[in-house]
Structure 1
Amino acid sequence: MLRSAQIAEEIVAKLAAVLGLPKEDILNAETLDLHSIDSIELVEVVMGIEEEFDVNLADWEAEDVRSISDVVQMILRCILPQDP
């Protein structure tokens, strides 16, 4: 099972690749408002995350995402078994 630290690392790697930034810049950012990420770059990141973790992220789920931690929690909700 994936741990949140591993998920965060993968997300940072995806963001760094799409934005052409060092991972450290992304890790040190308070929010995902990195260098004015545009909608095309955001779509690339979301598609990469969906593919990497075999999840389907609904648009409404991503609306409140403001940080790497928010993305990790969103993915964990998608991949971890839910209590009945």
Structure 2
Amino acid sequence: MKQTTHILLAALVAAFTLTVASSLRAHDGHDHDKPYKPGTCVVSGDKLGEMGKPVVFTYQGQEIKLCCKACRKDFDKDPAKYLKKLAGK
């Protein structure tokens, strides 16, 4: 009986922890898994596709599309600057 109680208690704690973690993730200020909408490179402002296939990657759960590898280097130097642009702030 004691072992069943311990297993049940562990399951309840695990379920609570997962619920809290997913709730925090949903409200942490980031748009996780949000599809990329702008048609321009957030670094250069150039239209995506004009320099070939866009460079696509995920940063902190946000899909990012840039016009070229050079812009990726700039993005990596100061990602907060460009994420702020994406957020429209």
Q: TM-score, normalised on structure 2?
A: 0.28
Point out the structure with the larger helix share: 1
Point out the structure with the larger strand share: 2
Which structure has more relative contact order (CA 8 Å, sep 6+)? It is 1
Work out which of the two has the higher radius of gyration on C-alpha atoms and give 1 or 2. Answer: 2
Q: TM-score, normalised on structure 1?
A: 0.29
